[in-house]
Structure formats: C-alpha cells, structure tokens
A = this chain, B = another copy of it.
Amino acid sequence: MRPTAAEEARTLVAEGRVAMLATLTADGGPWASLIVYATLPDGTPVLSVSELAEHGRNLQRDPRASLAIAATGGDGDPLATGRVTLAGAVEVAGDDEIGDAYHGFADFTRYVLRIERIRWVGGYARMDSPSVADYRAAEPDPVAPAAAGAVRHLNADHADALLDMARALGGHPEAAAARCERADRYGLDLAVTGPDGRAWARVDFAAPVSAPDGLRAATVELARRARAT
C-alpha cells in the first residue's frame, strides 16, 4: 500500500514553502521565478506576489500560472526527487477565504491559484496526473514532517532491523543489507543489496499512521514482526 498520486501531490504542496512560478510575459513567452507560498486546508496555494516584480506584472496582465514544487532535503539524484506541477489561473485572494494564511507585506498582492491540472512525478518510474477533485479531497501525509528524521535515525541506528524487514517482509530473503530511502504513513521504501545486486522493497505498516508521533511505534511493530517471522 502506497500513498496515491493525489496524496503525494498534496503532501509535497503542504510540506513546501518555496515554489517556482511560471507566468507569461507581455509577448506571451514563459517566465520562471521563485516565490513563497502558503497552503489552504483544501490544498489551494496562496501566493504572495510583489507588484514590482516581473511575475507580479505578468499576473496582472494574464492570470494563467503554474507552480512547480520539489521535495526538500534530498541530497541525491535530483531526478529521483518527488515534485509536482500545478497549473491554473490566479485570483486575488479574499480575506474570507485565506484568513491569516499570509500576513502580506506592503506592495504584495495575495493570490490564490485555482488549480486546473496537476502532474506529479515521484522519481524515474512513478508519475501520474491526479484529478483536481482527488487532490482537494486527499489528506497530506501526517508523517511527512517527521519522515526525514525517522529515515536518518533508522539508517544510523537500526540497520539490523531494516535488514530483518527486507528479508522477512520485503520479499528479499537473501538480502545482505538494507537502507531506508523513504517513510510515509503506509510504510517504508527500502533499498536492498543482495546476491543479484540492488533492488527496491516495500514494507507496509500494520495500519496507516495518522499522526507524526505514530511513526516510531509503527516502525517498532514492523521490526518486531520481521524478527518474529
């Protein structure tokens, strides 16, 4: 069991703070720039846009916009990193909709991006285009804020438990080593080294985790189950 594309996209947007914005110049060409954003509870991004910046003038002229958000903290192959593109059109945000999602600066306009299309890429082989309805309905992964720390801890201090998991639960009984590459609410992705080289394994938690502090207990249960198998 894995997060759906809609959940992956919602999680990337919820976890991010900086995005790249694509807008249209006066002659209809593309313009890429950096922007900070906040996220409303339904996954709608709120952009804080300087009217003095080129992208601010672009949006006043043509509201079409696209945001690209990449997972942070990856220090490996950037093309193996999760990222998502949202495309649609911006509208000036009303206070009733965004509340205090952004305490604006002077000379900044707050826009909401009305999403029309979504493309998620999880790495080389995982990609999908979730519907906007599915995206809005999906819950961001509650363990995402704790996942990077948990992965580091597992690799630093629990290599034996990871190897047990790969052998007993991950379908690699002859594994010689296992490294955790990613944790989400449903389980762990392991990179396994064995007699046939490197492979990926997925091990699922007994039940989906619903809060960041549930990740530890779910991982301990996985390790016990692997040892007992």
A-side residues, CB < 8 A to B, are: 17-25, 28-34, 36, 54, 64-68, 70, 78-79, 81, 83, 85, 87, 119, 121
Contacts and interface: CB of A to CB of B under 8 A. Distances in A.
B36 A78 contact: yes
Given A19-B32, A20-B68, A34-B121, 15 more contacts: A18-B78, A20-B32, A22-B32, A23-B30, A24-B29, A24-B30, A29-B64, A30-B66, A32-B67, A33-B68, A33-B83, A33-B85, A34-B70, A54-B85, A54-B119
Contact of A32 (B29, B66, B78, B81): B66
Contacts of A66: 22, 29-32
Nearest to A127: B53
A154 to B, nearest CB: 23
A229 B106 CA distance: 42
Q: Which of A19, A28, A29 has the most CB of B within 10 A?
A: A29
Q: Which of A29, A32, A33, A67 has the most CB of B within 10 A?
A: A32
A81 B20 CA distance: 13
Nearest to A119: B54
Contacts of A81: 34
B34 A78 contact: yes
Nearest to A77: B36
Q: Which of A18, A30, A68, A79 has the most CB of B within 10 A?
A: A30
A66 B70 CA distance: 18
Contact of A17 (B25, B64, B78): B78
